Structure formats: structure tokens, C-alpha cells
Amino acid sequence: MSTPTLQVTDGNSLPAPSGSDLVGETRPYLIGPFDRLSVDVYGVPDLSKQVQADASGKIQLPLIGEVQASNQTTAELAEAIEGRLARFVRRPDVSVNVTESVSQVLTVDGQVTQPGLYPVVGKMSLIRAVALAKGTTEFAKLDDVVVFRTVNGQKMAALYNLKAIRTGLYDDPEVFANDVIVVGDLARPPSVQGYFGDDAAAGVASRRPHPVICRKFD
């Protein structure tokens, strides 16, 4: 079913995003989980460290212990560290730099055990992405899994039957940085109808070997 803003076609998979699609709008960089940081305390080399944020976005530093780094800019984190170090060092001067950014992340949402942002390391598939989110819940609607993607500036979406993929009826599709994966909910109206129409819902429910692709025209 197509609408003035949606065109539905059949295909094997969504096209891969272009390089520009993988780069978000320019904005202050916020530190995230698994980022590697250089923390330099001027004049106190023993307190200067190379650290990596853990999965919750925290780092460990001498004297002050655990510090929340995620969702802060490097300047904000440096200021926070200075405030904590002031108990031990007179007028601490701290600089923080990102030495390795795990900026390539995707979103897994809906009926998964642990929704959130997850780093894309190497080649990532839909099954692997759901596994990173600790798998689906008991309320997951496995034939109502939608992957949203921007390709050459156009917003697209594909509908998948996760159960059919798990049983080998068709290939596990590759997913990319900036993709948004939404696992449907048995207790709510199916997104397959909202995004793709009744015909698409019937096709995926019958486990036909191709996902349905939806393209949005702005």
C-alpha cells in the first residue's frame, strides 16, 4: 500500500547507506560508551591517563575513582574532573581529548530486553543487533520487525519476520550505523499495517522470502 509520502516495493534488502548518510549533522561531540579518552592533568603526570569508557559510559581515574563521562562534551568532562580533583590538587588544569570514537552506533528499540544504542563493530546483522539488546521479550511480535534507514538523504524502512530469519527461510540482513530497529509488540496494533498496509502484513506473516521495503519521500 502506497500513500502520498510512502512508496512500497518488494526487494531483497534495503540499499546500503552512502558515506554522507553515516555522518550526522555537525554538533558538539558527546562522549559515549566505549570511547577512548586521553585525560591530561597539567603538571601532574601520575594523574594523566588513557582510559576507555565502559558500557555505561563511566571511566576510572586515580584519586577520584569513577566518573560519568557519557553524554558530556570533552570540556564538560574536564570541568567535572577538575571539580573532583580540587580536593587533592591545587587549581587542577585538566584537558580531555577523544582518541578513539565509537560513533558508529545503531538503535534497537521496542520489545527487546535492553533497548538502547549499540556500537557497530565490523559487519553487523539484524540477528546480532537484537542479540546485543539481550534478545526479544515474551511480548515481541517477531513478524513485525522494522528497520529504518536513511539512504542518500531519503528515509526508508524494511519489514522483516525475525522468526523466519532465525529458521533460515531467508538471509539475516546486514544493518548499518544509524539504523533504527524496532521490534513490534503483541499488545499493540502491528506496525506492519501502519507502515506498510494490510497486504505487506499478510506477506510477512506468511514468511515470504523477501522483506517489504518502504521509501519515504520528504
Same-domain check for residues 65 and 19: no
- The count of other CB atoms within 10 Å of the CB of residue 47 is 20
Same-domain check for residues 114 and 206: yes
Same-domain check for residues 117 and 58: no
Joined grid coordinates for residue 53: 569508557
Domain boundary among 82, 100, 118: 100
Same-domain check for residues 113 and 77: no
151 or 37: which carries more pLDDT confidence? 37
Residue 207 lies in a domain: yes
Percent of residues, the chain, with pLDDT higher than 70: 73
pTM here is 0.55
Q: Is the pLDDT of residue 2 over 50?
A: no
Which pLDDT tens digit goes with each residue over 80-117? 999 999 999 999 999 999 888 775 689 999 999 999 98
Exposure of 145 in the CB half-sphere (CA atoms within 13 A)? 30
Domain holding 10, by residue range, is 6-24+103-216
Q: Is the pLDDT of residue 4 over 60?
A: no
Residues 27, 19 contacting (CB under 8 angstroms) = no
Task: Domain count for the chain, please give it.
Answer: 2
CATH of the domain at 116: 3.10.560.10
Spatial neighbors of 41 by CB under 8 A, at least 6 apart, are: 47, 48, 81, 85, 89, 92, 93, 94
Same-domain check for residues 67 and 139: no
Residue 206 lies in a domain: yes
Q: From CA 213, how far away is CA 215, in angstroms rounded?
A: 7
Q: From CA 94, how far away is CA 146, in angstroms rounded?
A: 44
